[in-house]
């Protein structure tokens, strides 16, 4: 069974960089594409971007100038950096797997980690 686990600081100061890591177990990270999605409290889902093990990425244009997603195949992990955070970046952050066999749906998700941007 594939499992994803987000980790990282739960509190980030405004103007600083939010950094999260997603650790994948139960499958190789090399077989799929991997996304970050966020959800502000009480609101809907927003896709941040995805990465392939080759390093190929795609980002949401609304966040592209501040987002970097990277992968570490040796650790079966991928990471998110979001720079210059503001209160609007306060959200639950999820990592998830795209399954190309199932028409690129997000078939496995982490439990999420809450990040608050506040001084």
Partner 1 sequence: EIVLTQSPGTLSLSPGERATLSCRASQTVSSSYLIWYQQKPGQAPRLLIYGASSRATGIPDRFSGSGSGTDFTLTISRLEPEDFAVYYCQQYGRSPRVTFGGGTKVEIK
Q: Which residues bind partner 1 (CB under 8 A)?
A: 35, 37, 44-47, 50, 58-62, 94, 96, 98, 102-107, 109-112
Shortest reach from residue 69's CB to partner 1, in Å: 12
When the beta carbons of 96 and 117 are compared against partner 1, the nearer one is 96
As a dihedral over the C-alpha atoms of residue 62, residue 64, residue 67, residue 72, rounded to 10 degrees, the angle is 130
Q: Is the dihedral of CA 49, 36, 107, 5 positive or negative?
A: positive
Angle at 56 between CA 52 and CA 60, to 5 degrees: 95
CB of 81 to partner 1, least distance (A): 18
CB of 98 to partner 1, least distance (A): 8
| Residue closer to partner 1 (CB basis): 4 or 18 | 4
Write out 52-101 in H/E/C secondary structure: ECCCCEEECCCCHHHEEEEEECCCCEEEEEECCCCHHHCEEEEEEEEEHH
SS3 73: coil
Q: Identify which of residues 5 and 16 has a Cβ nearer to partner 1 in the complex.
A: 5
Q: Which CB, 13 or 64, lies closer to partner 1? A: 64
Give the nearest distance from C-beta 68 to partner 1 in angstroms. Answer: 16
């Amino acid at each position: 069974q594939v499992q994803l686990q987000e980790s990282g600081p739960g509190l980030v100061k405004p103007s600083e960089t939010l950094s999260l890591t997603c650790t994948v177990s139960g499958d190789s990270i090399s077989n799929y594409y991997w996304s970050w999605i966020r959800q502000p409290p009480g609101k809907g889902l927003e896709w941040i971007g995805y990465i392939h093990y080759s390093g190929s990425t795609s980002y949401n244009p609304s966040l592209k100038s501040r987002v970097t997603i990277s992968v570490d195949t040796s650790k079966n992990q991928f990471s998110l950096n979001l720079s210059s955070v503001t209160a609007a970046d306060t959200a639950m952050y999820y990592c998830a797997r795209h399954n190309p066999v199932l028409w690129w749906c997000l078939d496995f998700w982490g439990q999420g980690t809450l990040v608050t941007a506040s001084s």
